[in-house]
Structure 1
Amino acid sequence: MEESDPPFEEVYKNLFDNQEKLNINTTEISNDVEEWDLPMIDLSRLNQGERESDDCKREIAEASQKWGFFQVINHGVSYDIIEKMRCEQIKVFKKTFYDKANNRLDVKFPAGSYRWGTPSATSLKQLAWSEAFHVPLTDISNMGGLTSLSITMDQFATTVSDLAETLAEILAEQLGHKSDFFKDNCLPSTCYLRMNRYPPCPKFSQVFGLMQHTDSDFLTILHQDQVGGLQLVKDGKWISVKPNNDALIINIGDLFQAWSNDVYKSVEHRVVANKHTERFSTAYFFCPSYDTMIQSCVENSVYKRFSFREFRQQVQDDVKKLGYKVGLPRFIL
């Protein structure tokens, strides 16, 4: 029977060999970091009278300033849809690697959707021991007719889109900035859904499931399973995020940090590899069109005005040249 896992060790053999030749310490990646609960916000409070709603909005803004991450319950995305999404993506990831890589699946994913490893990696610490389907929302309906997967993806994306817009508007409002900016610029044609799988990793002490990075969008909404592995920087140290099946994880992206003039924080995070257990997650990226201009919504901006296209291009150039993303520091005035 053909393997479903990508051939990481075979394709990246040189990186593993180089690490051994150079006698680099291979035990630096550790799961042994403190596990914390992210701030938990019950969004049903938004409908429980003005005082409760105001308190809830303040907590959302506060978590975005102090953590850059928080989790929400009673978020409007039904448990049934989340569970169906998980089951459907497990089914598609179980297909053979050959079928995934050559798009020989029941569902026709857009060209270039399937990604695995890190083609630009020049060292093991840059290698991602993971695979993903990264799909623009508008392409979901064109994936070879109505299949169980495409219907579920569409249901998930629709409800999560509404949640993202609600949270973005709350965060803007808390800065004293009421406008239709997000409604006008972050459309289904500009946002993405990403299904992730992190296979069991025999080299778990040498590589990450996903290397440390910040997200290049306004907001990311994530559902992760119970395996865990997501870590983020808090007060200068790495902490591990305790899984919560009822919650969705929200994190601030680079664009919101720039737009808020550093009030809200886009925080570095990563996924550690697991020796024995595969991990699944689903991420929604709340992005504007490439032509959208990003500038501070307050005076005395930290960053120069830039388009999302310029930002993405700079990120791609840096990854190609350096092997990693630099991000917002490239745009400081």
Structure 2
Amino acid sequence: MDYEPPFLETYKTLLQKHLGDSKTDSSFSVVETCELPLIDLSRLALENPERDECIREVSEAASRWGFFQVVNHGISQELLGSIQYEQRKVFYQPFVNKCSEYVFDLSAKTYRWGNPSATNLRQLSWSEAFHFPLTDISRMHHQHISLRSSLDAFATRMAPLAESLAEILACKVNVKSSYFPQNCLPKSSYIRLNRYPPCPISSNVYGLLPHNDTSFLTIVYQDHVGGLQLLKDGKWIGVKPNPRALVVNIGDLFQALSNDVYKSIKHRVVAAEKVERFSIAFFYCPSEQAEIQSNLKPTIYRKFTLREYIEQTQIDVKHSGDKVGLSRFVL
């Protein structure tokens, strides 16, 4: 199909080098499937007698799991269905169009696929994505007006949800409620549309490499296919999809801000042999100048900015092929 990225052709050398052994890599096996903590956010209404219990559940899930699911989150199924429809349309356009630098008439290239720097199959992500800073959405080319409208509606509802959850979590770790509105401006957050094509070598490559998010919070809407896995107690656990829920996870920046009270958990997406998977992620991030430092004592991490974190990550990836993360900032 002309819309599929040319994985097999582009990574032919890697495939020939590493697929001589037909054994399935044991690291891809999953011990069990779990249902993440499921939290009904309708209980956050000020007059609701269960408000305090709901706040406690959010904080506990962020501490114990680093991941949780939310329902009654204010994002309608109609909107989620609309953006999913538009997502499919944009991924199903010809591959050559997706690769055009000006496919959306934006200054920065938005389309990504695979991993150009991969030197072995473990470093290859069998996926493609469109990456949109929130401030770019309104400048999208008129031919994508329906996608622009859906993304804008999604961002308009997702940003307050992320801020609300961040403020709930912040109050438990002595962070001022004004911190997030002051530091997380629209220009610093972004939306990523993800597609994981069917993969004929699904037992040898990832859909998305194991990683920790850099964000404060990431909120994901995923389809029914599944494939998201998280590392808990040293074991990879598959997350059972819930079509009514959004998945929320803590990023590295919030782990540092909370002095390790909240956990940024390593996660990945496994590739599927015969079905494709779609997800939509909202990354709630600060500006590059925002200072990250916990108010809890003794402080585990030195004060740093997002810019410093990104620069250190780039150095580490260049030298070792992987992100080292928060350990670089331990006092």
- Would the TM-score normalized by the shorter structure come out above 0.5? yes
Letter of the structure 1 residue corresponding to residue 8 of structure 2: E
Aligned to 1:60: 58
Aligned to 2:245: 247
- CA deviation after TM superposition for structure 1 residue 29, in Å: 4.9
Aligned to 1:18: 17
Distance of 2:167 and 2:149 partners within structure 1: 28
The answer to whether the 8 A contact 1:81-1:156 is kept is yes
- CA deviation after TM superposition for structure 1 residue 30, in Å: 3.4
Distance of 1:27 and 1:236 partners within structure 2: 17
Q: Which runs of 4+ in 1 moved over 6 A?
A: none
Query: Which shows bigger deviation, 143-152 or 186-195?
Result: 143-152
Q: TM-score, normalised by structure 2?
A: 0.96
Aligned to 1:271: 269
Distance of 1:270 and 1:330 partners within structure 2: 22
Match of 1:27 among 17, 20, 25: 25
| 1:141 correspondence with 2:132 | no
**CA offset digits 1:195-234 (Å, max 9, x no partner):** 0000000010110000100000100000000000000012
Letter of the structure 1 residue corresponding to residue 275 of structure 2: T
Q: Partner of 1:246: helix, strand, or coil?
A: coil
Identity over aligned residues, as a percent? Answer: 54
Aligned to 2:168: 170
Describe the shift of the 1:24–1:321 C-alpha distance in structure 2 as closer, same or farther (beyond 3 A): farther
**CA offset digits 1:258-286 (Å, max 9, x no partner):** 00000000000000000000000000000
The answer to whether the 8 A contact 1:231-1:240 is kept is yes
- CA deviation after TM superposition for structure 1 residue 319, in Å: 1.7
Describe the shift of the 1:151–1:319 C-alpha distance in structure 2 as closer, same or farther (beyond 3 A): same
- CA deviation after TM superposition for structure 1 residue 32, in Å: 4.2
Match of 1:304 among 302, 308, 313: 302
Q: Partner of 1:147: helix, strand, or coil?
A: helix
Distance of 2:8 and 2:152 partners within structure 1: 35
The answer to whether the 8 A contact 2:195-2:276 is kept is yes
| 1:318 correspondence with 2:316 | yes
Describe the shift of the 1:196–1:83 C-alpha distance in structure 2 as closer, same or farther (beyond 3 A): same
Distance of 1:306 and 1:55 partners within structure 2: 33
The answer to whether the 8 A contact 2:196-2:277 is kept is yes
- CA deviation after TM superposition for structure 1 residue 178, in Å: 3.0
What 5-or-longer segments of structure 1 have no aligned partner? none
Aligned to 2:38: 40
The answer to whether the 8 A contact 1:217-1:254 is kept is yes
Aligned to 2:75: 77
- CA deviation after TM superposition for structure 1 residue 157, in Å: 0.8
The residue correspondences of 1:85-234 to structure 2 (distance < 5 A) are: 85-103=83-101, 105=103, 107-145=104-142, 147-234=145-232
- CA deviation after TM superposition for structure 1 residue 315, in Å: 1.2
Q: TM-score, normalised by structure 1?
A: 0.95
Letter of the structure 2 residue corresponding to residue 45 of structure 1: R
- CA deviation after TM superposition for structure 1 residue 109, in Å: 4.8
Q: Partner of 2:69: helix, strand, or coil?
A: strand
The answer to whether the 8 A contact 1:76-1:159 is kept is yes
What is the aligned residue count? 330
- CA deviation after TM superposition for structure 1 residue 152, in Å: 0.3
Aligned to 1:8: 7
Q: Partner of 2:268: helix, strand, or coil?
A: strand
Distance of 2:275 and 2:72 partners within structure 1: 29
**Cα RMSD, aligned residues only:** 1.6
Match of 1:330 among 301, 304, 328: 328
Letter of the structure 2 residue corresponding to residue 98 of structure 1: V
The answer to whether the 8 A contact 1:110-1:143 is kept is no
Distance of 2:310 and 2:255 partners within structure 1: 15
The answer to whether the 8 A contact 2:30-2:236 is kept is no
Letter of the structure 2 residue corresponding to residue 187 of structure 1: L
